[in-house]
Chain A
């Protein structure tokens, strides 16, 4: 591994034999070093991989200014998150997470006021698995850093784990998704005039489906078409649900400029059918997972 750029005495940009750029942290790594020099790998304490919106420059600035202890605890949290939530949680979540946690710890130490996070209720019912894990993360932070962050901090942590599916350090895509998920459920409520139990299994499945829909759109992928005969069957059998799915796809088109395919409409209509069937007969709501 060789040095590509020296940021300061302990932070350098390195490039390995395959051409991959890495931000490296270690006392003395950059001392009297120049681009092209071979790196003494015994000095490397931590390695960070640039990616997405996290450029090498941003990583280096981050590594230089965030206490190492805060980075350590977040590494532990990311390792636990991969086990608890799945492999879509990658190391790219480390920088935005540590950025948030370090700031929250500073606020707590300095006794700064709490923040009224937007979408706090929506996050809690739309992403229960991420919120549950984030409470565990608060325990890890307390054990390692000696500060108990407010329970409310589980909300922004959960958003970071949800955001991990997009592989971006920018939370705005996840914030917009959260708003639209909420509006989608509101469309169904308004259409059927029923209350939807946000803790129910069909809602959890629907939210999961929509999250994958967002991911497909973000990645420009589409379902393979099952054929128009299946669309016609569902449209004929469930005209109201098909129309409701159409309103949801209109919302998605207006907000994001997406062209929602008939195949996606089919799945939306099936989910709407399940959701409203449950709401119409609450006694069947004790479905086993």
Chain B
């Protein structure tokens, strides 16, 4: 899966671009602040081969990627408009 395909998959599993209030990243994780936490599929995110783990911490949904966190963050951010 390339960065854009992965970004599409992740966005779908967090409930779509409209559900994202804020997206940031750290060294290994995408961090989503969501409007509706219930619309996110954590298990589905965790099942993606590129995702190490998805979980809630500090009021945000954290999606840890095996690699490429910066380009994938940029690809997701580009879809938020």
Contacts and interface: CB of A to CB of B under 8 A. Distances in A.
Contacts of A58: 58-59
A99 B29 CA distance: 11
B54 to A, nearest CB: 10
Given A156-B28, A175-B27, A115 B59 contact: no
B37 to A, nearest CB: 12
Nearest to B24: A170
Given A156-B28, A171-B26, A115 B56 contact: no
Contacts of B58: 58, 61-62, 65-66, 99
Contact of A65 (B25, B57, B67, B69): B57
Given A100-B26, A103-B29, A103-B62, A115 B67 contact: yes
B65 to A, nearest CB: 7
B35 interface: no
Interface in A206-221: none
B59 A61 contact: yes
A14 B69 CA distance: 36
Contacts of B26: 96, 100, 171
Contacts of A114: 52, 66
Dominant SS among interface residues on chain B: strand
Interface in B24-81: 24-29, 52-53, 55-60, 62, 64-67, 69-70
Interface centre among B26, B29, B58 (most CB of A within 10 A): B58
Contact of A117 (B25, B28, B56, B57): B28
Given A100-B26, A103-B29, A115 B55 contact: no
Interface residues of A, number: 27
A282 interface: no
A102 interface: yes
Contacts of B52: 107, 112-115
A116 interface: yes
Interface string A96-109: 10011011001100
Interface in A96-147: 96, 99-100, 102-103, 106-107, 110, 112-118
A157 to B, nearest CB: 10
A65 B27 contact: no
Interface of A: 57-58, 61-62, 65-66, 96, 99-100, 102-103, 106-107, 110, 112-118, 156, 159, 170-172, 175
Interface of B: 24-29, 52-53, 55-60, 62, 64-67, 69-70
18 contacts: A61-B58, A61-B59, A62-B59, A65-B57, A65-B58, A66-B57, A96-B26, A99-B57, A103-B29, A103-B53, A103-B55, A103-B57, A113-B52, A115-B28, A115-B64, A115-B66, A117-B27, A170-B24
Given A66-B57, A114-B52, A171-B26, 20 more contacts: A57-B59, A62-B57, A62-B58, A99-B57, A100-B27, A102-B57, A103-B53, A103-B55, A103-B57, A103-B62, A106-B53, A106-B55, A107-B53, A113-B66, A115-B52, A115-B65, A115-B67, A172-B25, A175-B27, A175-B70
